[in-house]
């Protein structure tokens, strides 16, 4: 029975092809716009989340304070107030997963005929966990490397490509100045940071090696910053307080004295960026939904015209045995076919458009199953909702009145 009605609805639409297509166009544009906007919005969200993940999550950064020499204040990180021992103490706090001091500089790396300038980070073995940064190959350096300040290094992908070209870096030796450094491992690719820096253009050496043999430091053991990773995002406020208390105690600070360090929460910054893009993608979706609504009203409009125009046909159908519900079903099916077919075309155009934007402008786009599902069910619901009133109007017609209609 339903198949019969489907056929009736389909052939009625075929009889008015141009009008059905134009009505469908409203739906096509609506769904296409929703899918495209959601794809771009979610793509932006994805990009932000990616860079947050690349940076490492649940992160604090503890910076040493500035100096104040006769009223001239230096920026944070210039006073030699933080030490590697502070990092070791922080690591013992409850709720802290890992902590690593780091010392950063840059150096000219040489391997065979190639050379490359890159940033060098002096760190402890914990650093890789803090940054959520696995190795692509090889092994990390160990605590004993740190103790004896051996000349070993982990190399980032970009630096490795520029220095070793097609060679396998692990086990090879590079030079910084005249000193040889053995490559223990290659870091996994991490991509761009939020500020657009290439995080893979890096060399990581033991902190002690960096301080004693590479950069040198006036205060042995002091570091500019310590990165701390909390176990879970929820406990970050408690961990922040604990770090504060611990460091004040270790630095023997008096009650009213200002901190000689500062603790910053990196995740909060990243979260607000993610929130911003989420709101943006929601907004885009909302604007696009308006066109979906307009498309739905277009369907209702055309269906109403169609019911009026086909009053006589409805009368004939009723006179030869169509029940109210048969007429209702037929017109409802017409509306649903228009919106579902329109939706499918819209989906195809939206996905195609998103892919095109991705290829042409390199903007990240994400098409999630839920977007497709939502767009599809909204379209079907639109068909039912806006098709129902005209269909009911048709079904309620009096057969005699309808037959007399010219």
Partner 1 sequence: MTILPIPAPVIEILGLYKDYQTPVGPFPVLKEVNLIIHAGEFVAIMGPSGSGKSTFMNILGCLDRPTSGAYVLEGQDVAQMDKDATARLRGQALGFVFQGFNLLPRMSLEDNVALPLVYCGIPKEERRRHARTLLAKVGLEDYAASLPNRISGGQQHRVAIARALVNTPRLILADEPTGNLDSHTSEEIMQLFSALNREGITIVLVTHEPDIALHAERQVRFLDGRIVHDAPTHASTHHFAASGTVC
Q: What token pair was written down for 254? A: 């008096």
Query: Out of 316, 340, 349, 357, which residue is the one contacting partner 1 (CB under 8 A)?
Result: 316
Q: How many residues bind partner 1 (CB under 8 A)?
A: 26
- Residues 21 and 179: their CA atoms lie apart, in Å, by 74
Query: Out of 131, 190, 229, 317, which residue is the one contacting partner 1 (CB under 8 A)?
Result: 317
Residue nearer to partner 1 on the CB measure, 11 or 178:
11
18 binds partner 1 (CB under 8 A): no
Closest by CA position to 186, among listed 136, 131, 144: 136
- Residues 18 and 306: their CA atoms lie apart, in Å, by 13
129 binds partner 1 (CB under 8 A): no
Q: Is 221 helix (H, G, I), strand (E, B) or coil?
A: coil
134 binds partner 1 (CB under 8 A): no
Residue 319 Cα distances to 294, 309, 327, angstroms? 36, 17, 12
Residue 171 Cα distances to 108, 109, 164, angstroms? 19, 16, 12
Tell the smallest beta-carbon distance from residue 403 to partner 1 (Å): 7
Residue nearer to partner 1 on the CB measure, 8 or 200:
8
Cβ burial of 210 (10 Å; 0-12, 13-18, 19+) is: buried
Pattern 323-342, partner 1, x by CB under 8 A: xxxx----------------
309 binds partner 1 (CB under 8 A): no
Applying CB under 8 A, the span of 4-12, 164-172, 223-231, 375-383 interacting with partner 1 comes to: 4-12
Applying CB under 8 A, the span of 95-103, 148-156, 189-197, 321-329 interacting with partner 1 comes to: 321-329
305 binds partner 1 (CB under 8 A): no
Applying CB under 8 A, the span of 138-146, 162-170, 255-263, 318-326 interacting with partner 1 comes to: 318-326
Cα-Cα-Cα-Cα dihedral sign, residues 255, 256, 259, 264: positive
Cβ contact 397:310 at 8 Å: no
Phi, psi angles (nearest 5°) of residue 171: 90, -15
Tell the smallest beta-carbon distance from residue 322 to partner 1 (Å): 5
Q: Is 192 helix (H, G, I), strand (E, B) or coil?
A: strand
Residue nearer to partner 1 on the CB measure, 197 or 323:
323
Cβ burial of 10 (10 Å; 0-12, 13-18, 19+) is: middle
Residue nearer to partner 1 on the CB measure, 12 or 367:
12
Tell the smallest beta-carbon distance from residue 358 to partner 1 (Å): 44
Applying CB under 8 A, the span of 116-124, 186-194, 369-377, 397-405 interacting with partner 1 comes to: 397-405
- The CA-based angle 199-203-209, given to 5 degrees, is 140
Tell the smallest beta-carbon distance from residue 5 to partner 1 (Å): 8
Applying CB under 8 A, the span of 121-129, 140-148, 249-257, 320-328 interacting with partner 1 comes to: 320-328
According to DSSP, residue 312 is labeled H
Residue nearer to partner 1 on the CB measure, 221 or 399:
399
- Residues 169 and 164: their CA atoms lie apart, in Å, by 6
403 binds partner 1 (CB under 8 A): yes
| 147 alpha-carbon distance from chain centroid | 39
Query: Which residue ranges make up the site for partner 1 (CB under 8 A)?
Result: 1, 3-5, 7-8, 11-12, 15, 312-313, 315-326, 399-400, 403
């Amino acid at each position: 029975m339903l198949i019969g009605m489907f056929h009736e609805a389909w052939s009625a639409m075929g009889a008015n092809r141009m009008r059905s297509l134009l009505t469908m166009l409203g739906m096509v544009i609506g769904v296409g716009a929703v899918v495209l906007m959601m794809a771009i919005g979610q793509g932006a969200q994805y990009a932000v989340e990616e860079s947050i993940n690349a940076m490492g999550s649940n992160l604090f950064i503890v910076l040493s304070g500035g100096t104040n020499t006769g009223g001239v204040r230096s920026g944070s990180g210039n006073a030699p107030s933080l030490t590697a021992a502070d990092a070791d103490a922080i690591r013992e706090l409850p709720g802290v997963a890992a902590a690593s001091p780091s010392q950063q500089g840059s150096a000219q790396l040489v391997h065979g005929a190639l050379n490359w300038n890159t940033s060098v980070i002096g760190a402890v073995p914990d650093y890789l966990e803090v940054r959520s940064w696995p190795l692509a190959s090889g092994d990390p350096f160990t605590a004993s490397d740190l103790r004896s300040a051996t000349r070993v290094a982990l190399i980032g992908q970009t630096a490795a490509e520029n220095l070793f070209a097609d060679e396998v870096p692990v086990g090879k030796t590079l030079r910084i100045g005249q000193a040889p450094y053995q490559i223990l491992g290659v870091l996994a690719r991490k991509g761009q940071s939020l500020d657009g820096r290439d995080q893979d253009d890096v060399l990581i050496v033991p902190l002690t090696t960096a301080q004693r043999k590479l950069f040198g430091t006036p205060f042995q053991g002091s570091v500019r910053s310590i990165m701390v990773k909390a176990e879970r995002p929820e406990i970050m406020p408690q961990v922040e307080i604990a770090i504060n208390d611990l460091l004040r105690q270790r630095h023997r600070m008096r009650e009213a004295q200002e901190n000689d360090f500062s603790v910053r929460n990196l995740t909060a910054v990243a979260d607000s960026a993610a929130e911003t893009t989420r709101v943006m993608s929601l907004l885009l979706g909302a604007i696009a939904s308006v066109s979906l609504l307009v498309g739905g009203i277009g369907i209702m409009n055309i269906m109403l015209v169609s019911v009026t125009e086909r009053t006589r046909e409805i009368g004939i159908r009723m006179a030869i045995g169509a029940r109210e519900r048969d007429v209702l079903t037929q017109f409802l099916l017409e509306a649903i076919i228009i919106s579902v077919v329109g939706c499918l075309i819209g989906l195809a155009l939206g996905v195609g458009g998103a892919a095109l934007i991705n290829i042409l402008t390199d903007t990240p786009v994400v098409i999630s199953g839920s977007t497709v599902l939502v767009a599809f069910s909204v379209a079907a619901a639109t068909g039912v909702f806006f098709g129902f009133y005209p269909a009911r109007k048709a079904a309620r017609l009096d057969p005699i009145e309808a037959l007399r209609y010219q």
